[in-house]
Amino acid sequence: MHVGIAGAGIMGRTLAFSLLERGHQVTLFDRDPVQEGGAAAYAAAGMLAPLAELESAEHDIYRLGRRSLRLWPGLIDRLAADVDYHRLGSLVVAHGADGAGFREFHRRLSNQLPQQERENLCLLQGEALALEEPDLADRFGEALWLKGEAWLDTRKLMTALADYLPGSGARWHATTPVESLAPGVIRTGHEDHCFDVVVDCRGLGARDAIPGLRGVRGEILWLDAPQVRVNRPVRLIHPRYRLYLVPRQGNRYVLGATQIESDDSGPVTVRSSLELLSAAYSLHDGFSEARVVHMEANCRPALDDNRPRLIAGDRLLRINGLFRHGYLLAPALAELATDWLENPNPVDSGHDVLFSFDNEEAHD
């Protein structure tokens, strides 16, 4: 098959990778240059956290996320690039006043998890916490360790994919806005590009084609904090925000993220930066002397129920609604999409497909 992909954000790039691995031809189109642009993928913190998300997201997201966690290491090995990928789990902590919220989070997550997977939740107290995260043990008496969760540096990954894909045979039309898609056709400017099948991975750029697609604003800060040593992502339970800290190489931390019902991707607001920075300081005193080296806002592409969709049509597939789970889900969605492209089922046309994920056990 020769597949045309509109949009080279994380979904488009991961799908291109999956198709090339299965021996297909791929041509990507993006309105931005190859190594930079307005994709939400550039703003993402890179948490691969199906357990933590299960507390507020649908079970499908957890199962797809688990599948992705199995796929990421192989994908990263093939890229042969340093993308700062780690799998040490993540921690959830709360200050004393938010203890009830912490216990409720633990309870809800335990209830949501199938019995045999509850061993992935581990309450660390006192010495055990000091062994895993010495810098946090002074301030927090306990933490919930979500084992097996992972994280990566999203910008490094986007760059690594941009280096790998053309080297593996993908054609890439950068700075080429797509005007419209039709069965087997991607239209740019006055040109029609014909393929066996086309896939729409334009994120929020597909609003003209997907009713109800909306933006959910997220803001993040990058901190340079030589006085802090935290080894794995940490979430802070807070009555109003969902805040997390994700370590990067070289004393850097990504602090995120706000979640605001707005498609405004303008600069980070004073209020959001105050809230994020106060949260960081409440986690660790060492953040008082940290430098804010970067601030960024972007919008997550989301549908009404905040679940992703693969929408099948005649020689046209749309993948969208990745919301706050783009990295968590992209490899599993790419795999499902590739399976479907190889064996399209005509009865799926016009419907949302592929959410039963019955084949998970076979893949395991």
Please report, as ranges, the residues that interact with ligand FAD according to CB under 6 A.
6-12, 29-32, 37-41, 43-47, 177-178, 201-203, 205, 218, 220, 256-257, 298, 300-301, 322-328
* Minimum separation from the CB atom of position 206 to ligand FAD (A): 7
* Structural tokens at position 266: 């303008």
Closest approach of ligand FAD to the CB of residue 115, in Å: 26
Report in angstroms how near the CB of residue 162 gets to ligand FAD at its nearest.
11
**CA atoms of 349 and 325, how far apart (whole Å):** 25
d(C-alpha 40, C-alpha 26), whole Å: 22
Whichever of 7 and 313 has its CB closer to ligand FAD, that residue is 7
Cα–Cα dist 331/163, whole Å = 18
Q: Tell me the residue type at 267.
A: P
> Is 237 or 328 the residue whose CB approaches ligand FAD more closely?
328
**Closer CB to ligand FAD, 63 or 130, in the complex:** 63
Closest to ligand FAD by CB, 301 or 313: 301
CB of 126 to ligand FAD, least distance (A): 30
Residue 250 CB, nearest approach to ligand FAD (Å): 19
Cβ-based nearer residue to ligand FAD, 253 or 323: 323
DSSP-based three-state secondary structure for 236? strand
Which residue's entry shows tokens 């799926």? 348
Distance set, CA 10 to CA 42, 177, 294 (Å) = 9, 17, 21
**Residues near 200 by Cβ (< 8 Å), separated by ≥ 6?**
6, 7, 181, 206, 209, 316, 317, 318, 319, 320
Question: Which amino acid does the sequence have at 277?
Answer: L
